[in-house]
A and B are shown apart, each in its own frame.
Chain A
Amino acid sequence: MNSLNLFLQFLANGVVTGAAYVLVAIGLTLIFGILNVVNFAHGEFYMLGGYAAVTASAVLGFPLIPTLVVTVVFLAAFGMAAEWLVFRPISGRDPNNAIIASFGLSILLQNGALVVFGAQPQTWKTDLAELPVQLGPVFLTGQRVLIVLITVVLVAALLLVLRYTWTGRALRAMAQHPVIAQISGVNVRKVAVVTFAIASALSGIAGALMSSVFMVQPTSGAMLVMKAFTVVILGGMGSIGGTVLAGLGLGTVEAMVSGYVGNEIRDMIGFLLVILMLLVRPRGLFGQSTERS
């Protein structure tokens, strides 16, 4: 393979990973933008999505589409439950409490998964996993193409919902000014529940799809949530467009670094970028201005 083809292959791999980052990070940025909550347990929603898919397909024998549906329904319900049990009681108080509580939830879910599913990594086997797809000089499996396609569809759907439906308007109103939104008749509790359901479902789909490419294990959400935070900060908290760009960007940069420089420093790149970004331009590339000091 010549160097251009190699470059294109790295680029394609980067876009696939980036697409998963986008799905997870959009949920995070919604929760932050609308509810002003930083959810450190978001990676565990991703991990649970992976296990939901593995369980639905391996244990219950569901094919691809019903498995995804099951994952979405389960994770949406799970997000609602998390909002109700953990985040509602502490809303409106010191934001540090939400950080600590979601961290506790993250530890709880990680180790709960360890007890229930074991430490052995598992894979969701689909028919698409071995189907080769060739785009010019680039080879991908069908599964990887599916990840990108689903991400595109979901992001487009989300943007349409936010733009044109009543619920979408309520969500955006909450993000802009919670008090006025409430005065205008937005049900804040409902908005919080809906936000968590959407965010958790998106993250779950990402986890389900990625569990067929990489494996799912109890700790697989932990690194991913850090990546998602990186993406959200780079793109700007609360900005969906920024999140999409930053997610694809991070995925690509990581693929390039691990391809040309070495796998060891791949995971460090993002964190160094975050620290730099927070110092230079804390609201991210496309974020609205946020409080800082």
Chain B
Amino acid sequence: MVMIFIYVVLAVSLDLVMGWAGQVSFAHAAFFGIGAYTTAIMQRDFGTGFWLNLPAAMVMAGLCGFLLGLPALRLRGHFLAIVTIAFQTIVYLALSQWTSFTGGQYGIEVSSVSGFASIERFYYLAFGLSLATVVVSWLVTHSRLGMAWQAVRDDEVLAQAIGLNTTASKLAAFVLAAAFAGAAGVLVAHHIRGVTPDDFTILTSATIVAMVVIGGRGTVWGPLLGAVVFMALPELLGAAARYKLIIYGLLMIVMVTMMPQGVFGVWARRRQK
């Protein structure tokens, strides 16, 4: 259950970039990993606790999002996708190869959150954070900034023409999404009591992308639904769980070819009619 909440945070925040601002990012797991490693390294080296690590990791991930977004968001479509993948791969390689700092393939151990050590208490913590993400996302996307994102997504030239700073608004989406991914990283590090680089690969990124696409881009509820379904899927499949990734891949293809708005998008459109 805790993992469902963590992926809700990831999917809903990635949707700010993919669904609302219309940019592709395959680097979400990199920010997730940066958050997780920030908390792990802070705890190891400075002995700080969860409540200090959380904002620190969010700032750190947001900062990395800013640094990546600053140059990358001037690029479009294919090129942006490739840069985010390159960034994702560099982060993964750094996490797995820089052994003295990140512990290499063995990762770093992280202790549980004091006061939230039991699984039930932690569950509420994760629930709270994912609720906060959904609420913030809903508020932001229904604000002026959210409208600016939609304008950029639908017609960037026009958005520029009416005086929007398109790069700044895309950057805002990127940084916000990265910060939330960092927060999810803090949660996962304390939840599984450790970090290893293999949790933050391009596959993780692709899974989050799949959740957003299948749930429905540009809707807060779609990615939420996508995350819940995806995380529950292995449990439901039972013996077929080893085919999990095959099914993910197949679903991504089928959804994009048949209903690119996603499940929730189709449902919302039906209701409007």
Contact = CB atoms under 8 A, between A and B. Distances in A.
Interface stretch (B7-15, B71-79, B120-128): B71-79
Q: Interface range on chain B: under 10, 10 to 19, 20 to 34, or 35 or more?
A: 35 or more
A49 B50 CA distance: 49
A21 to B, nearest CB: 16
Contacts of A177: none
Interface in A219-268: 222, 226, 229-230, 233, 264-265, 267-268
Interface string A24-46: 00000000100000100000000
A115 B78 contact: no
A99 B71 contact: no
Contacts of A95: 77-78
B93 A267 contact: yes
15 contacts: A32-B78, A89-B257, A95-B78, A99-B81, A103-B252, A104-B250, A104-B252, A111-B246, A115-B246, A264-B93, A265-B97, A271-B87, A275-B83, A282-B75, A282-B79
Nearest to A274: B86
Contacts of A86: 253, 257
Contacts of A226: 85-86, 89
Contacts of B82: 38, 229, 233, 274, 278
A2 interface: no
A208 to B, nearest CB: 24
A104 B249 contact: yes
B260 interface: yes
A99 B84 CA distance: 12
Given A229-B86, A278-B71, 13 more contacts: A96-B77, A99-B77, A100-B24, A104-B248, A104-B252, A108-B249, A229-B82, A267-B93, A268-B93, A274-B82, A275-B71, A275-B72, A278-B79
Contacts of B206: 103, 107
A196 B165 CA distance: 39
B192 interface: no
B257 A90 contact: yes
Given A99-B81, A282-B79, A104 B251 contact: yes
Contacts of B257: 86, 89-90, 101
Interface in B21-35: 22, 24, 26
Contacts of B22: 96
A105 B249 contact: yes
B184 to A, nearest CB: 21
A106 interface: yes
A115 B71 contact: no
Given A100-B209, A107-B248, A292 B76 contact: yes
Contacts of A229: 82, 85-86
B264 to A, nearest CB: 16
A111 B257 CA distance: 21
B132 interface: no
A229 to B, nearest CB: 5
Contact of A93 (B79, B250, B260): B260
Contacts of A107: 203, 206, 245-246, 248-249, 252
Interface string A195-215: 000000000000000000000
A279 interface: yes
A4 interface: no
A268 B256 CA distance: 31
B259 to A, nearest CB: 11
In this complex, which of A96, A99, A282 has the most chain B Cβ atoms within 10 angstroms of its Cβ?
A: A96
Contacts of B77: 95-96, 99
B242 to A, nearest CB: 7
A93 B260 CA distance: 10
Interface string A76-93: 000000000110011001
A100 B87 CA distance: 17
A127 interface: no
A116 B87 CA distance: 31
B81 A94 contact: no
Contact of B76 (A265, A274, A293): A293
Contact of B90 (A38, A110, A115, A268): A268
A100 B76 contact: no
A285 to B, nearest CB: 15
Contacts of B210: 100, 104
Given A93-B260, A104-B252, A107-B252, A275 B74 contact: no
A112 interface: yes
B111 to A, nearest CB: 29
B202 to A, nearest CB: 7
